[in-house]
């Protein structure tokens, strides 16, 4: 297998293994799913799901389909890429590492089966695509992996110990070993003494890492003989200074004996243990020095070990994993933090942690983070509340939300024991809209919310039923349980039907058909036909013949048979037996005796005379024949015989008459017997041919019958497993995985009523959840129910979603959540992207500039709603994140480059301060004005723009003043309270405020946020004194305009920015300068004119000072400040 960086693709060879046909098809399908890119674990499993649906699945593939029910996975179309080359198939890094372990297990068996293939994919625990596929199926990768391991126990081609070894080799815990195998990787410490080993090729490998992101070569494992592929290694530099961490990588091969690395020992024939390492980070000087290593890990003795291959404790591994990446980034000059500019390599870049104590907040973002956090966590806030963080891509929205999350965590733990200010049970949930752009939004969002709620409730407790107690109160769970019961009944029926099919198939194979015989009806038909053709009589006449024979012979059987034939009870076969009996009777002397006995001739003298004469004659003739002589008295006997015969004449005559009448009866019966015999043979021959054909077909289909039995058994097993699954689902109807799967299935249902039913259920359950949590806070709820005071939902990357409908769906979901007083929602928004998506989606509803131009055809008399209006409806509190100012960049640079580093950096040519020299040599304050196209740069002095000069004065206390950067915020008991003076002035500002409850609430929330961002000193000036009120009045006036009449406010702020001589002017002068204005804001202008009377006629200078920051709390982003300027307090 080719080796590469831990996250780089690796080309592997599947062709050297014999792949079972289903596995080969699934692998080819995975290649199609990848679109010609490196295959990941999700591609492999999707290949299984599609293959299982196209043909009779193997038991392994069927099981995976049950564990990962993903109806959205469909067979990909033709991609145009070449077919999969099994001899050179690219895999992503995490999957390739698992494959490198799997190769040894594949080689142990003759064939790679479906169980092996699925195991390969499921053990790629570091592949994020595996988690995403599991989430799409309403479960998680760990649950699927554990269930799969239990399924493998039923197999026969590998032992349970083999499977366990495979699991252990890739560092995945077995279902019952979660504590024995922590999430942190197994790690070892390797050592390097620069004094003993100069490492002349080190620079070559360092260059490889910079060019290819990895380098691979062997290193001594000390006395360690066993290491697994994928184990982490850390390389510590020892010997002369500097000491510390110089390398990080993963084991890439087996530990092997090689010639010793020490030249002297090598010449003596000594060997050392060498292990192949894929290095991710490597340097000659430590990127984490020993002192810092000891300070950050708390470990001292380990780093001085003289023996390589020492195993590092899991807790220490976790600590190292947290600190080494940032140290490496600083060392190499690359950055992962979007707020800090990327500098050239070899400059020392400091890690930016504005949210941690002891760090300098160079960007001045902490005050806003803390302000939002205070309001969001405050007990005084009554949600719902939605906050829009506006800014271009890369402006730091994600960073802001991360800091906000940490700050809320800190505030929720604050409790003075007397009058707590913040709620303690705040569950924070992060939802990345981009990651779920191709799946059902509602299913993903609700599953994420419930999953995080479960984690939040189980934190710090061993009671795993906490979450279930809450779920049992929700309608979704009741519906899930009902559906589970229905599926169980269906599964039981299917199991019963499959079992009956198995019994039928077994019987068909065990009991082949008997040779066929003519049926009774067929035999009767043949009998009737034979009688008619042979004897020329009907069946009734034939019955008469039998009765006559019965009378002649006195045979009771013949009489009974005649009656049965007459009643239709006799078949042809029985008639044949009867005729045989008649034929036998007619050929025996006894037959004639029966006729004579029937006529009772034996009672007459003539009968016995004839008998006697006959006996004598027979005797005489016999003697004569034997001795050739006649007995004595023969002549006299002849004379007597004549007399005797005469006496028997009457008897003989009667017998002759009876014989004459019986002869035709038996003649006809004899001829009928022959015909019947022939007809029966013909019928049998015909049926025998049919039987032989049937027998041949049965023999030819015997294998099919066996296949049918095997298929029936498979279906029976599948039905049994399905029934067991249904029973488990019923028992675990409150589990998070099953709830998520249920939500997803409903959300993706083509049944419109089911989809709407899901949304309605979610709505009712969130309402129920809010009610339960409210009662829990008030102490009125079930004491067994867990408590949640507030849910903060962060939605990020909305500005990366596509198509536009997806953006709109997310906004609609946010709007729905705002119905429930449990949620505070924070959304990162690039207004350009979102506005464009709204226009595309509501093309016929939202207006553009032409629709506002009264001279254009179809123009509206009243300005239509636009995308900004839509966003204003969604977000109660908008806040803009702006780009770094020049002075902020300077501060960051000064914090990033230490004094020691300054001496090694070339001094820049020229002066970087904001100064300019006029023609007379005087130094004056100036600023850079950069046009929108970033091409024209102009130096503008304060003398050229007095208005800007006046506005700049506020920065002495605000975020541009280095001395105020680290100044702490005012106490929350002061900044979150509204004074009587502030409230009274709000009453006066009311006519300028918007006329909707939502906008008024926005005004109050933004005003609180503005105050919460002030330092103690700034808050004092902001409030002022009763005799000389502070700038809170100016803030309220502008904020009322910004939230109530944003287009008019834009005009006002423009006048404030460009106006001159503000020191001598009042608010009433601004009203005059604005003139009559447009019709759309005439009412607001009149209200402002009426307001600007007496002590409310504020100085224009005060409005200018606060306008830059007030602007940042508007969806419309009305920039009123020059580059580099801002105002606060």
Query: Residue 943 pLDDT more than 50?
Result: no
Q: Which residue has the higher pLDDT, 937 or 1074?
A: 1074
156 and 229 together in one domain: no
What percent of the chain is modeled with pLDDT above 90?
Answer: 6
The pLDDT, as a whole number, for residue 954 is: 35
Q: Which pLDDT score is estimated for 282?
A: 92
d(CA 390, CA 737): 34
- Looking at the domain assignment, is residue 413 inside a domain? no
Q: What is the CATH number of the domain that holds 71?
A: 1.10.1780
Tens digit of pLDDT for each residue in 858-896? 544 555 666 677 777 778 888 887 765 645 544 544 444
Over 70: is that where the pLDDT of 95 sits?
yes
Clarify whether residues 709 and 620 are in a common domain.
no
For 197, 288, 373, 421, the CA distances from 501, given in Å and listed in that order, are 75, 70, 65, 69
pLDDT tens-digit map of 521-567: 665 565 555 555 544 455 565 666 666 666 655 555 555 665 655 55
Angle between helices 93-108 and 160-169 (to 10 degrees): 150
Q: What is the mean pLDDT of residues 421-442?
A: 74
The pLDDT of 785-797, averaged and rounded, is: 81
Q: Do residues 879 and 369 make contact, with C-beta atoms less than 8 angstroms apart?
A: no
Q: How high is the pLDDT of residue 1033?
A: 93
Tens of pLDDT along 871-881?
A: 777 788 888 87
List the beta bridge partners of residue 1015: 969
Instruction: Find, among 403, 370, 372, 367, the residue nearest to 385 by Cα.
Output: 372
1021 has pLDDT over 80: yes
Q: Are 489 and 525 in a shared domain?
A: no
Q: Any residues with CB less than 8 A from the CB of 547 and at least 6 apart, and which? A: 558, 559, 562
Question: How far is 1036 from 98, CA to CA, in rounded Å?
Answer: 62
Residue 122 pLDDT grade (very low, low, confident, very high; cuts 50, 70, 90): very high
Least confident of 249-258, 432-441, 629-638: 629-638
**Residue 641 domain-assigned?**
yes
CA angle 708, 710, 712 (to 5 degrees): 65
- The answer to whether residue 494 sits within a structural domain is yes
Pairwise pLDDT comparison (479 vs 632), residue with the higher score: 479
Lateral strand order in the sheet of 823-829:
426-432, 790-796, 823-829, 385-390, 877-880
Q: How confident is the model at residue 359 (pLDDT cuts 50, 70, 90)?
A: very low
CA distance 427 to 459: 11
Q: Which domain holds residue 502?
A: 483-511+704-731
Residues 657 and 552 in one domain: yes
**Cα(71)–Cα(439) distance, integer angstroms:** 11
- The residue ranking higher by pLDDT, 637 or 221, is 221
- pLDDT band, very low/low/confident/very high, at 326 (cuts 50, 70, 90): confident
Phi, psi of 52 (to 5 degrees): -65, -30
Strand pairing category for 915-917 and 923-930: antiparallel
Q: Are both 137 and 69 inside the same structural domain?
A: yes
> Is 140 found in the same domain as 36?
yes
Question: How many angstroms separate the CA atoms of 109 and 104, rounded?
Answer: 10
Instruction: Quote the CA–CA distance of 145 and 174 in Å, as a whole number.
Output: 9
For the chain, the average pLDDT equals: 69
pLDDT the model gives residue 1122: 42
* Pairwise pLDDT comparison (486 vs 1105), residue with the higher score: 1105
What DSSP character marks residue 514?
P
Q: What strands lie across the sheet with 915-917, from one edge to the other?
A: 915-917, 923-930, 937-941
Question: Residue ranges of the alpha helices (H) in 633-701?
Answer: 634-647, 649-700
- Determine, yes or no, domain membership for 549: yes
700-709, 842-851, 955-964: which has the minimum mean pLDDT? Answer: 955-964
More confident residue, 342 or 428: 428
92 and 205 part of one domain: no
Is 398 among the domain residues? no
Cα distance from N-terminal residue to C-terminal residue, the chain: 64
Of 745 and 725, the one with more pLDDT: 725
Q: How many structural domains comprise the chain?
A: 5
Distance CA 882, CA 834 (A): 17
Residue 1016 lies in a domain: yes
Domain boundary among 302, 332, 362: 332
Domain assignment present for residue 777? The answer is: no
pLDDT at 1073 over 90: no
Q: Are residues 682 and 716 in the same domain?
A: no
Residue 574: pLDDT band with limits 50, 70, 90: low
Q: Which residues contact 1079 (CB under 8 A, 6 or more apart)?
A: none
Question: At which of 113, 135, 169 does a domain end?
Answer: 169
- For residues 542 and 687, state if they share a domain: yes
Domain boundary among 298, 332, 366: 332
Crossing angle for the helix pair 980-989 and 1032-1044, to the nearest 10 degrees: 40
Q: Which of 268-272, 742-746, 930-934 has the lowest mean pLDDT?
A: 930-934
Does residue 196 share a domain with residue 86?
Answer: no
Burial profile 993-1015: b = 16 or more Cβ within 10 angstroms, e = fewer: bbeeeebbbbbbbbbbbbbbbbb
Residue 363 has pLDDT above 70, yes or no: no
d(CA 1113, CA 1006): 7
Taking Cα atoms as reference points, which of 750, 726, 776, 766 lies closest to residue 476? 766
| pLDDT of 209 strictly over 60 | yes
How far, in Å, are 696, 698, 701, 777 from residue 508 at the CA level?
15, 10, 11, 69
Report the candidate in 229, 49, 776, 903 with the shortest Cα–Cα distance to residue 473.
776
pLDDT at 1032 over 60: yes
Q: Judge whether residue 937 has pLDDT over 70.
A: no
pLDDT above 80 for 499: no
**Pair (1051, 954) in one structural domain:** yes
Residues 226 and 112 in one domain: no
In a domain, 740, yes or no: no
- Specify the range with the lowest mean pLDDT, choosing from 303-312, 431-440, 812-821, 938-947: 938-947
* Domain at 296, CATH number: 3.10.590
pTM score of the predicted model: 0.39
- pLDDT category, 1051, cuts 50, 70, 90? confident
């Amino acid at each position: 297998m080719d080796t590469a960086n831990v996250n780089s693709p690796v080309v592997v060879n599947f062709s050297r293994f014999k792949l079972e046909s289903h596995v080969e098809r699934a692998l080819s399908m995975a290649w199609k799913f990848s679109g010609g890119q490196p295959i990941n674990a999700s591609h492999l499993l999707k290949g299984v799901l599609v293959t299982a649906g196209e043909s009779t699945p193997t038991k392994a593939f069927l099981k995976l389909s049950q564990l990962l029910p993903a109806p959205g996975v469909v067979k990909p179309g033709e991609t145009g890429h070449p077919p999969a080359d099994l001899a050179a198939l690219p895999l992503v890094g995490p999957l390739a590492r698992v494959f490198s372990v799997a190769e040894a297990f594949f080689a142990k068996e003759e064939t790679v089966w479906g169980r092996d293939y699925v195991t390969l994919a499921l053990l790629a625990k570091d592949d994020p695509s595996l988690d995403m596929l599991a989430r799409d199926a309403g479960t998680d990768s760990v649950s699927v992996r554990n269930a799969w391991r239990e399924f493998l126990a039923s197999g026969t081609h590998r032992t349970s110990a083999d499977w366990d070894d495979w699991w252990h080799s890739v560092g995945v815990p077995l279902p019952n070993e979660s504590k024995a195998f922590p999430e942190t990787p197994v790690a070892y410490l390797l050592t390097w003494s620069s004094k003993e080993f100069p490492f002349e090729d080190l620079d070559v490998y360092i260059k490889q890492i910079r060019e290819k992101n990895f380098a691979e070569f062997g290193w001594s494992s000390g006395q360690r003989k066993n290491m697994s592929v994928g184990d982490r290694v850390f390389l510590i530099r020892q010997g002369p200074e500097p000491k510390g961490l110089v390398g990080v990588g993963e084991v890439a091969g087996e530990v092997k004996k090689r010639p010793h690395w020490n030249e002297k020992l090598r010449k003596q024939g000594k060997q050392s243990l060498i292990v192949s390492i894929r290095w991710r980070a490597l340097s000659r000087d430590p990127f984490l020095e020993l002192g810092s290593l000891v300070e950050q890990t708390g470990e001292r003795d380990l780093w001085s070990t003289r023996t390589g291959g020492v195993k590092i404790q899991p807790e220490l591994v976790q600590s190292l994993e947290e600190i080494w990446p940032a140290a490496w980034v600083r060392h190499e000059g690359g950055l992962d933090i979007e707020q800090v500019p990327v500098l050239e390599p070899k400059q020392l870049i400091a890690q930016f942690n504005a949210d941690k104590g002891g760090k300098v907040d160079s960007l001045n973002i902490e005050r806003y983070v803390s302000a939002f956090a205070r309001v969001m966590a405050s007990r005084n806030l009554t949600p719902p509340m939605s906050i829009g963080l506006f800014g271009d891509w890369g402006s730091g929205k994600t960073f802001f939300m991360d800091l906000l999350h940490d700050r809320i965590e800190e505030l929720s733990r604050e409790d003075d024991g007397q009058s707590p200010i913040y709620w303690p049970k705040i569950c924070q949930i992060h939802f990345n809209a981009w990651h779920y752009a191709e799946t059902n939004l509602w299913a993903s969002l609700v599953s994420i919310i419930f999953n995080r709620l479960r984690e939040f409730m189980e934190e710090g407790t061993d009671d795993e039923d906490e979450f279930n107690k809450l779920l049992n109160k929700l309608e979704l769970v009741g519906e899930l349980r009902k559906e589970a019961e229905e599926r169980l009944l269906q599964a039981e029926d299917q199991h019963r039907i499959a079992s009956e099919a198995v019994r039928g198939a077994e019987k068909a194979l065990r009991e082949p058909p008997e040779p066929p015989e003519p049926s009774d009806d067929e035999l009767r038909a043949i009998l009737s036909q034979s009688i008619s053709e042979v004897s020329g009589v009907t069946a009734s006449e034939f019955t008469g013949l039998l009765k006559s024979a019965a009378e002649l012979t006195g045979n009771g059987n013949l009489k009974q048979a005649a009656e049965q034939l007459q009643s239709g009870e006799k078949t042809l076969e029985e008639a044949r037996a009867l005729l045989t009996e008649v034929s036998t009777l007619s050929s025996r002397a006894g037959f004639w005796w029966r006729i004579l006995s029937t006529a009772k001739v034996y009672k007459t003298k003539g009968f016995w005379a004839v008998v006697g004469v006959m006996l004598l004659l027979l005797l005489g003739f016999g003697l004569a024949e034997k001795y050739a002589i006649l007995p004595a008295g023969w002549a006299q006997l002849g004379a007597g015989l004549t007399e005797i015969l005469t006496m028997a004449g009457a008897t003989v005559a009667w017998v002759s008459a009876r014989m004459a009448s019986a002869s035709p009866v038996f003649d006809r019966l004899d001829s009928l017997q022959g015909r019947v015999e022939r007809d029966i043979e013909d019928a049998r021959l015909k049926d025998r041919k049919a039987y032989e054909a049937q027998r041949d077909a049965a023999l030819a289909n015997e294998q099919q019958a066996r296949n049918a039995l095997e298929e029936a058994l498979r279906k029976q097993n599948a039905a049994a497993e399905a029934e067991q699954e249904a029973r488990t689902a019923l028992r675990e109807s409150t589990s998070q995985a099953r709830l998520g799967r249920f939500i997803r299935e409903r959300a993706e249902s083509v049944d419109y009523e089911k989809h709407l039913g899901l949304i309605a259920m979610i709505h009712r359950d969130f309402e129920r959840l809010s009610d339960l949590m409210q009662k829990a806070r008030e102490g009125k709820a079930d004491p067994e129910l867990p408590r949640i005071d507030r849910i903060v939902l962060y939605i990020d990357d909305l500005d990366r979603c596509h198509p536009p409908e997806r953006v709109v769906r997310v906004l609609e979901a946010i709007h729905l959540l705002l119905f429930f007083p449990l949620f505070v929602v924070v959304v990162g928004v690039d207004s350009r992207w979102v506005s464009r998506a709204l226009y595309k989606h509501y093309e016929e509803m939202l207006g553009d500039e032409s629709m506002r131009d009264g001279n254009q055809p179809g123009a509206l008399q009243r300005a239509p709603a636009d995308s900004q209006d839509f966003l204003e409806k969604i977000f109660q509190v908008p806040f803009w994140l702006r780009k770094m100012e020049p002075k902020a960049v300077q501060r960051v640079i000064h914090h990033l480059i230490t004094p020691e580093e300054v001496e090694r950096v070339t001094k820049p040519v020229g002066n970087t301060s904001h100064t300019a020299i006029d023609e007379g040599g005087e130094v004056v304050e100036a600023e850079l004005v950069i046009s929108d196209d970033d091409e024209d740069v102009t130096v503008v002095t304060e003398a050229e723009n007095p208005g800007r000069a006046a506005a700049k004065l506020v920065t002495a206390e605000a975020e541009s003043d280095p001395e105020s950067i680290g100044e702490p915020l005012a106490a929350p008991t002061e900044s979150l309270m509204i004074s009587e003076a502030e409230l009274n002035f709000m009453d006066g500002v009311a006519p300028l405020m918007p006329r909707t409850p939502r906008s008024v609430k926005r005004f109050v929330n933004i005003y609180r946020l503005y105050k919460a961002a002030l330092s103690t000193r700034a808050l004092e000036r902001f409030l002022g004194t009763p005799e000389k009120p502070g700038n809170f009045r100016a803030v309220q006036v502008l904020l009322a305009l910004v939230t109530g009449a944003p287009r008019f406010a834009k005009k006002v702020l423009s006048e404030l920015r460009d106006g001159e001589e503000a020191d001598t002017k009042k608010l009433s002068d601004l009203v005059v300068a604005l003139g009559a204005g447009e019709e759309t804001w005439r009412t607001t202008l009149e209200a402002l004119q009426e307001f600007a009377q007496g002590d409310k006629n504020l100085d224009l200078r005060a409005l200018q000072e606060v306008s830059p920051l007030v602007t940042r709390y508007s969806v419309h982003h009305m920039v009123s400040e020059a580059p580099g300027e801002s105002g606060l307090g």
